[in-house]
Structure 1
Amino acid sequence: MPPKSANKKKVVEEPPKKKHQIVTVQVAEEEEEEEEEEVKKTVAVVDEGLPLEYYREPGPKATTRKCNDILFFGLFVLVWVGMVVIAIVAFQKGDFNRLKFGTDSWGNLCGAYNPPVGQVPAFDLSNRTYLHYLNAHTSSGNVISRCVASCPKKNDVVCFYNTTLASTSAGVAAQIAQGKCFPVLFNTTDMLYRCIPLEAVQTLVQVQYPTTQPNTTMVKIANFVLSDLNGRTIAAKMTQSLAYSWPIVLGMAFTALGLSFAWLVGIMFLAGGCVWLTVAMANMCLAGIVAMLWYNWAMIETNGKMVLVGWSTIDSLMMNWQTLLTLSIIASVVFLLLFVVTVAARKRIQLAVIIIQETAKAIKSMPLIVIFPVAKYFLIAGLFAFFAVVYALLATSGTVIAQTFSTSISLSIANQDWTKLLTPDTVLPFLQIYIVFGFFWTWNFFLGVWQTTIAGAIAGWYWTRDKSVTPKSPLLKAFGRCFRYHLGSIALGSMLIALVQVIRWILVELQRRLRAAHASQTAQYILACTQCCCMIIEKFMAFLNKNAYIEIAVYGYSFCDAAKMAFQLLVRNAFRVVVIDRVSGFLFLLGKLIIVSGTCMIALALLQTFEAGIADYYAIPLIFIFVISWVVASFFMSVMDMAVDTIFLCFCEDCERNDGSEERPYYMTDTLREFTDQHKGEKPDIAT
């Protein structure tokens, strides 16, 4: 029998296979007891209530990943199969000509062959592509229109389809008296296949600002024509102006790109100054307003007068003693709240500044990440074009039926007392809802893939010990992980948002129809409140989805697990979340305004110098330049916004998992480590 000491087991401590996994110490005491006893002591690193999945090793490593939520990606593919089928049906039953050409008062489509409908014979208008408005109107007030081969000029005579213009002046006069032909009272010009009266706009101006009694028929024609055009004249002016100024517009796009790069470089060095200057100016401006209000109240109280601002409406309002006192109290309360929040959140504001600076460093290490959003916008633009075409074709599909046509003309239009009406199929509303849902789902899916890819690349930089060593092609690797493992999770998250968005769209359509039908205000208020609730839910889900995608990119969770982990992490750092989100959001908005205003000022100077021929249309190219520069600036800001959120979540995870010791060193940079060391031992944000 071996000695008792030989049977004695040593104390064995099992090291965690992964950092911060639960450490179990097993002790066997055979010297004191005959039967072996095992005592397990669990050392919780952060929170005993956290699930075991929390202790998965951070960092985007493909070896620990697997495909999740595959069912929802399969459902997404099936939805797209249905959208393709609907698109094919829309192209077969829809008519592009209905989008291009006009329709006359009898329901005939200009520039096309109109097949027979019931007892209505076929009518070939292939060579009559322009829609002209006659000097006549129906009993309902609508101007009668017909298709013509070319737009007529003043003093020409246009007849109904079944009437041939007489060859003599007396015959023409008789036809006009009988209501079969109508003289053209003004010159017309073709625009987007409509014959536009040149005097129409002048007539509308005369109606709004009358100097003499306007011609009643001209008023009806002018209103009806411009209503039918629905902005086509504006579109033509925009096209003409852009044709002159496109080199400047293109150059300003590159200017906005350069200013965005300059802003990104500048924010690395001036983020702290910009943020603190903004906070200080907000407090000082509000303090000045409070001082002015109380000073004027004191002036009225003692002298019965105040410092006038030069605007009689405001002066008379402010002279009211009670109004001024109320405004002074409200402004004082707001100022005190702002000052208290500024003092209480000063450490969080400093953290926001540091995180923004760290984000700029991460983006600097992988500059191609700034260009990556371009692919997203091209995909979304293609998706929108597909959706717009299919939706429009669905709207032009249906069945043409014949109806009775009544006019206020003394004589009936011989053999033409009918009109055609395009009636949509009963299944059309359901197809439109399906297409809209597919559009929203795909939109959010593209956005989710982009967010997950950005988060994966930035997280890879954060969870690297040596920040000076940048992995090769981090963006492509992050996209590869997303494409290989996480499309199902992204499909699930984007589907949830799409469901809320399509409900909002249905509510908007219902409210529009109720408003057009002059329905009760109560029903409209209920729909408006429901839309507001849906909007709040959508905003919350978009915020949660973005943070869930970050967790997916870092750990490879399924969507539900990632959303749960992200929500718990955000709750534990609630105050930090609010401060950093507001500070970074305002800073990015300020950056957009700087880039856009600088680009537009340069563009205005160039337009005034080199494009004197389009002086009347400066606003149109400037609007385009504003939109383009805003989109270009959004490329950079969207990357910065997603990167800031990723760095922040990684920082919170790092603080909870590690303590800066040799056994559990931080992954964060020296700047963040100094901030953490200075505020170590403070209460959690949720308790402050």
Structure 2
Amino acid sequence: MPPKSAHKKVVEPHKMKQVVTVQMSEEEKEEEEEEEVEVAKTVAVVPEGFPLEYHREPGPKATTRKCNDAVFFILFVLTWVGMVVIAIVAFQKGDFNRLKYGTDSWGNLCGAYNPPVGQVPAFDMTNRTYLHYLNGHATGNVISRCVASCPKKNDVVCFYNTTVASTPAGVATQIAQGNCFPVLFNTTDMLYRCIPLEAVQTLVQVQYPTLQPNSTMVKIANFVLSDLNGRTIAAKMTQSLAYSWPIVLGMAFLALGLSFAWLMMIMLIAGGCVWLTVIMANMCLAGIVAMLWYNWAMIETNGKQILVGWSKIDSLLMNWQTLLTLSIVASVVFLLLFVVTIAARKRIQLAVIIIQETAQAIKTMPLIVIFPIAKYFLIAGLFAFFVVVYALLATSGTVIAQTFSTSISLSIANQDWTKMLTPDTVLPFLQIYIVFGFFWTWNFFLGVWQTTIAGAIAGWYWTRDKSALARSPLRTAFARCFRYHLGSIAFGSMLIALVQVVRWILVELQRRLRASKANAVTQQILACTQCCCIFVEKFLAFLNKNAYIEIAVYGYSFCDGAKMAFQLLVRNAFRLVVIDRVSGFLFLLGKLIIVSGTCMIALALLQTFEAGIADYYAIPLIFVFVISWVVASFFMSVMDMAVDTIFLCFCEDCERNDGSKERPYYMTPTLREFTDRHKGEKPDIAT
């Protein structure tokens, strides 16, 4: 007889619930039924074949949230504690005067008090702000000293502690002894350096066709170039900006106004801008194709006898072959563009509708247009903090005494010693830390801004009755982001910052290797590595932006939000490519218009406003370009982030719902009409 265990009843999985409920009391069954009813009220229908996460009701309001990835926000705060400590050290050990004034041949800083160091006595150079270059006739070396004003021709400049004699004979003796030097040319001040007027012209020449290689002017010009080029990049930037900051600041406000005007325009005529861009691209390429084939046909017709009956002319044959190749390539590109335009016209129309819907969403929350201004000033403050601290770190170090390096015989014994600023050994690591903290904070601010925009726009999309929207959706979205999602944003921004700081290190290595004329293979390897870092950075930025949208809508952690966003985008890949390219190109045109207009005005002002600026306007112009590009990007990013949010919500809406009474769409009537017309089409990509 078999054991009793062999006769135990096996409960099948689909009957498990029935067996369990038999053993429940009546009160427990009633409680369970009530819970199921309550859950059914908040659980959305999950379409077959789509993620189980769709059981959650869409929209920021319907989500129960908690703090995620909090450890990364704690790390972010600790990083800022370290940056504040480094900033305090930089202010204590750094010296702004080193960014502005020059240093003489004895290591004394012009325009400042120099305390005694070792064998070198103290020198008060507070009133001597200009650096003058002397010519050592005995050895041919050029040395420098601080002066109160730039000397004129026939003046006499002596070493420190040497007073110019009152008689011509005494002056001649001092010059013969090498303690004083006559000024052979009129000098002018440039970047607090006294440079001969003739040398100013020499500085801008690549060669010296009218001067002897060993002439005094060439020596001084080369020495000035060496002194100016030997300064750190931070010193050059700070000194040039000290002259031109009013223009740079004015151009920043100009870029702000142009960006605001462009955003208003795109909200009014978004559809026309998109279709005009597509049509003009096709027409321009068609015109190029026609011109190429026409020129090839002219050579084919008029030069046929030369090419066939006579010896071929190389230039004519080269033009014939080149035009034929270009005509074929351009024709293929035009056909591809035309076919893609026809095939993707529905997706282009979808892009137009989504941009128009984005404009409608922005109109319901006008403060979203002003939101980039707050971000602009916040990041401007961060950038100013970074530049100041980084520049002060570049000027920090320990001043030591060493033997004077020239062989000039000096009459004063205490001038046989000189001072030299030696950087601290930890300086490179502190600079890397500051750069990493800057990148992390920059991306963190962007992440908070993106999550806030996404939360406000998603709240608009997932609300059926638009009149029931919150009074201040932007403020509500920001409060929700600040309370729950700073850890997730710190996590995502840290990933991008790590890649960016690696890129910065590679750029520095490339610059130093190029200056030292190192192995070309090593430079190419660094360049390839940097390209890989750029690709990784772009991918992470794309992933972060869409992850922040999912975080704003559902309150996911960073990893869960990135996974959900990536899977949703893969299922709608073709739509993504078309909408991203169309909207991206439209926003790029806006950036180019704003940046080019701002830079042209800035260039005209920098060349004519002030002589000091005109001498050295490259760095201010670069700053104007960067600032105007950043400002334009801030405003373009409002539309860009809103478009991405609407698109992601639209894709999820299409997967969740089918437009029936049981599962109606959340989208607006315009989008719903477009979706209903193309409901029977196959999906973009198989899941």
Name the TM-score class by shorter chain.
0.7 to 0.9
**Paired residue type of 1:336:** L
- What does 1:400-439 correspond to in 2, within 5 Å? 400-407=399-406, 409=408, 414-439=413-438
What's the counterpart of residue 585 of structure 1? 584
1:274, CA displacement in angstroms?
2.4
- What does 1:51-450 correspond to in 2, within 5 Å? 52-61=52-61, 64-136=64-136, 143-204=142-203, 208=207, 210=209, 216-225=215-224, 228-229=227-228, 252=254, 256=258, 259-267=261-269, 271-304=270-303, 316=315, 320-407=319-406, 409=408, 414-450=413-449
1:107, CA displacement in angstroms?
1.2
Once the two structures are superposed, residues 106-125 of structure 1 have per-residue CA deviations (whole angstroms, 9 ceiling, x without a partner) of 21122333233333333333
| Identity rate, percent | 82
TM-score (norm 2): 0.83
What's the counterpart of residue 490 of structure 2? 491
Q: Does 1:17 align with 2:63?
A: no
Distance verdict in 2 for CA 1:207–1:293, change over 3 Å: closer
**Paired residue type of 2:561:** A
1:578, CA displacement in angstroms?
1.1
Task: Kindly indicate whether the alpha-carbon contact (under 8 Å) linking 2:462 and 2:666 is maintained by their aligned counterparts in 1.
Answer: yes
Once the two structures are superposed, residues 596-624 of structure 1 have per-residue CA deviations (whole angstroms, 9 ceiling, x without a partner) of 667789x79x99xxx9999x979999999
Distance verdict in 2 for CA 1:617–1:422, change over 3 Å: closer
Q: Does 1:666 align with 2:665?
A: yes
Aligned pair count? 639
Distance 2:381 2:249 in 1: 24
1:62, CA displacement in angstroms?
7.5
Task: Kindly indicate whether the alpha-carbon contact (under 8 Å) linking 2:54 and 2:656 is maintained by their aligned counterparts in 1.
Answer: no
What's the counterpart of residue 514 of structure 1? 513
Distance verdict in 2 for CA 1:254–1:280, change over 3 Å: closer
Distance verdict in 2 for CA 1:233–1:670, change over 3 Å: same
1:272, CA displacement in angstroms?
2.7
Q: Name the stretch that deviates more: 678-687 or 483-492.
A: 678-687
Query: What 5-or-longer segments of structure 2 have no aligned partner?
Result: 1-24, 306-313
Distance 1:666 1:467 in 2: 14
1:572, CA displacement in angstroms?
0.7
Task: Kindly indicate whether the alpha-carbon contact (under 8 Å) linking 2:179 and 2:411 is maintained by their aligned counterparts in 1.
Answer: no
Distance verdict in 2 for CA 1:193–1:358, change over 3 Å: same
Task: Kindly indicate whether the alpha-carbon contact (under 8 Å) linking 2:292 and 2:323 is maintained by their aligned counterparts in 1.
Answer: yes
Distance 1:365 1:633 in 2: 22
Once the two structures are superposed, residues 172-219 of structure 1 have per-residue CA deviations (whole angstroms, 9 ceiling, x without a partner) of 112212222111223334455433433332333576574676982223
What's the counterpart of residue 33 of structure 1? none
1:636, CA displacement in angstroms?
2.8
Distance 2:262 2:287 in 1: 33
1:453, CA displacement in angstroms?
0.7
**Paired residue type of 1:260:** W
Q: Name the stretch that deviates more: 142-151 or 411-420.
A: 411-420
**Paired residue type of 1:256:** L
Distance 1:360 1:242 in 2: 36
**Paired residue type of 2:88:** I
Higher helix share: 2
What's the counterpart of residue 677 of structure 1? 676
1:592, CA displacement in angstroms?
3.5
Task: Kindly indicate whether the alpha-carbon contact (under 8 Å) linking 2:211 and 2:218 is maintained by their aligned counterparts in 1.
Answer: no
1:490, CA displacement in angstroms?
0.3
Task: Kindly indicate whether the alpha-carbon contact (under 8 Å) linking 1:137 and 1:407 is maintained by their aligned counterparts in 2.
Answer: no
1:221, CA displacement in angstroms?
2.2
Distance 2:641 2:414 in 1: 67
Distance 2:65 2:330 in 1: 54
Distance verdict in 2 for CA 1:18–1:57, change over 3 Å: farther
**Paired residue type of 1:186:** F
Task: Kindly indicate whether the alpha-carbon contact (under 8 Å) linking 1:456 and 1:478 is maintained by their aligned counterparts in 2.
Answer: yes
Task: Kindly indicate whether the alpha-carbon contact (under 8 Å) linking 2:263 and 2:636 is maintained by their aligned counterparts in 1.
Answer: no
Distance 1:174 1:105 in 2: 23
Distance 1:142 1:569 in 2: 70
Q: Secondary structure at the match of 1:132?
A: strand
1:454, CA displacement in angstroms?
0.8
1:263, CA displacement in angstroms?
1.2
1:595, CA displacement in angstroms?
5.1
What's the counterpart of residue 474 of structure 1? 473
What's the counterpart of residue 639 of structure 1? 638
**Paired residue type of 2:196:** P
Distance 1:235 1:75 in 2: 31
1:264, CA displacement in angstroms?
3.1
Query: What 5-or-longer segments of structure 1 have no aligned partner?
Result: 1-6, 24-43, 307-314
Once the two structures are superposed, residues 12-49 of structure 1 have per-residue CA deviations (whole angstroms, 9 ceiling, x without a partner) of 996683679477xxxxxxxxxxxxxxxxxxxx51425x
1:422, CA displacement in angstroms?
1.4
**Paired residue type of 1:360:** A
Task: Kindly indicate whether the alpha-carbon contact (under 8 Å) linking 2:259 and 2:635 is maintained by their aligned counterparts in 1.
Answer: no
Once the two structures are superposed, residues 223-272 of structure 1 have per-residue CA deviations (whole angstroms, 9 ceiling, x without a partner) of 433554569999999887887x89996995675266325413432xxx33
**Paired residue type of 1:589:** L
Distance 2:237 2:421 in 1: 28
Task: Kindly indicate whether the alpha-carbon contact (under 8 Å) linking 1:138 and 1:408 is maintained by their aligned counterparts in 2.
Answer: no
Q: Secondary structure at the match of 1:296?
A: helix
Distance 2:527 2:623 in 1: 32
**Paired residue type of 2:558:** F
Q: Secondary structure at the match of 1:165?
A: coil
Distance 2:47 2:120 in 1: 83
Q: Secondary structure at the match of 1:320?
A: helix
Once the two structures are superposed, residues 330-387 of structure 1 have per-residue CA deviations (whole angstroms, 9 ceiling, x without a partner) of 2122122212221221111111111000011111111110111111111111111111
1:147, CA displacement in angstroms?
1.3
What's the counterpart of residue 544 of structure 1? 543
1:659, CA displacement in angstroms?
0.9
Task: Kindly indicate whether the alpha-carbon contact (under 8 Å) linking 2:255 and 2:632 is maintained by their aligned counterparts in 1.
Answer: no
Task: Kindly indicate whether the alpha-carbon contact (under 8 Å) linking 1:80 and 1:438 is maintained by their aligned counterparts in 2.
Answer: yes
TM-score (norm 1): 0.83
Task: Kindly indicate whether the alpha-carbon contact (under 8 Å) linking 1:95 and 1:393 is maintained by their aligned counterparts in 2.
Answer: yes
- What does 1:520-535 correspond to in 2, within 5 Å? 520-535=519-534
Q: Secondary structure at the match of 1:64?
A: coil
Distance verdict in 2 for CA 1:95–1:656, change over 3 Å: same
Distance 1:423 1:302 in 2: 73
